[in-house]
Amino acid sequence: MPFLSLKPITGISPQSAADVADTVQIMLARLRSGREEAARDYARRLDGSDAAIEVPPGALASAHRRLDPALVEAIAYAHANIRAFALAQRASVSEFETELRPGLVAGQRLIPVGCAGAYVPGGRYAHIASALMTVTTARAAGVAQVVAVTPPGRDGPPPAVLHALHVAGADRVLALGGVQGIAAMALGLFGLPEADILVGPGNAYVAEAKRQLFGPVGIDMVAGPTDVMILADATADPALIAADLVAQAEHGPTSPVWLVSDHRPLAESVLRLVPQAVAALPEPNRTAAATAWEALGEVILVDSREEMAQAADRAAPEHLHVMARDPVWWRGRLGAYGSLFLGAETSVAFGDKAAGPNHVLPTGRAARHTGGLSVHKFLKTVTWQRASGPALPDLARATAVISRAEGMEGHARSADLRVPGPCRNRALLS
């Protein structure tokens, strides 16, 4: 079996990454001290915008009037799916209490964060789906306040993004991008509540800002360039595979795309068809996809479906698409991916835009240890306990023994004091 050599997919060189980190550190320091004025200055210099920072509620509510009715309908369809899936996720976890022993009761509570901040990227594309995925999911989790920022562009944020934020349920929206947008939510600038968690994709500067702010503020993940891996056997259609690889590659020149197959004729057909599919795209999509395919595209031949699965588990891709026989086997066997797409009909594009499961997913092999954005990211799973009566002698004895073995006499005496009888009065004196 050929060795699967994963190329670095951070999207920037180590030196560039260090430069980004230094730049973000300086910007955050200035934003902490200069607050709103610093954010306005960055908006003028980096976003080229001198417009009002906050998007008025009326502009959110009326944004649909500037859209094609078909797009309004499509946004409503996607929102309904995303909300239904997020609500089902919320229903899959519950609070409970259990009596571990007579007199020892413990339980679990699920508490939504107080405020979530959603970043909706700008740039080459209007990220309508990101607005829906982030804000809708926070709302389904029960978050009381959801705020969002999105770059202003030359003429303000795209109306479709504003409408999506309105439909999803954002309380307030700032036309502010990049590090200054992230800082506005984290630091509570422009009258926003300080966000308890920051979510949503962005460029390298946005990801680094989230990373540096993490600790007092939660984040969904530190995301890098998007990627896709397709697993395909002899039953797959090479034209569909080529189209799907190109669809992901159009995100940009740092987006890896992989095909893993045990069928050489299929692999060779895909290699012929991808350049044709790239050439058929309009600009600037064509250049972005061509660069990604030439720099980061890989077609990997293996001998069996088990070796295909092993390759996928090593890569831990963000999107894993199976176009092969026996989807039940694949669903049970595969274990490292952001989101799994089963069957030739199940395009990754569906998941990116409208199917329902969240599209904010782990990249850069982070799927080895985490899943994507979900209602669980907005919920604090906390525990409680109550001890009394018959539980006290054994519980206190075990606690004291372990504490003394660890050398923590204060803990041991705190436990001794809970035991009824003469030792309770002597615990602090002995």
Q: Which positions are catalytic?
A: 318-319
d(CA 181, CA 43): 9
b/e map of 408-418 (b: 16 or more CB within 10 Å)? eeeebbbbbeb
d(CA 355, CA 361): 14
* Beta carbons within 8 Å of 40's beta carbon, 6+ residues apart: 53
| DSSP bridge pairs for 319 | 228, 339
Residue 407 CA to its chain's centroid (Å): 42
Q: Identify the helix (H) or strand (E) that includes residue 119.
A: strand 115-119
- Residue by residue, DSSP assigns 16-78 as HHHHHHHHHHHHHHHHHHHHHHHHHHHIIIII---S-SBPPHHHHHHGGGGS-HHHHHHHHHH
Look up residue 191 and give its DSSP letter: G
Helix (DSSP H) and strand (DSSP E) numbers for the chain = 16, 13
Structure tokens at 230: 């397709």
Nearest CA to 44 out of 204, 123, 36 is that of 36
d(CA 362, CA 367): 5
Residue 420 CA to its chain's centroid (Å): 51
d(CA 184, CA 197): 13
Residue 383, CB half-sphere, CA atoms under 13 Å: how many? 5
User: 257 near 296, Cβ under 8 Å?
Assistant: yes
Nearest CA to 255 out of 308, 346, 317 is that of 317
Proportion of the chain in helix, strand, coil states, percent, rounded to 5: 50, 15, 35
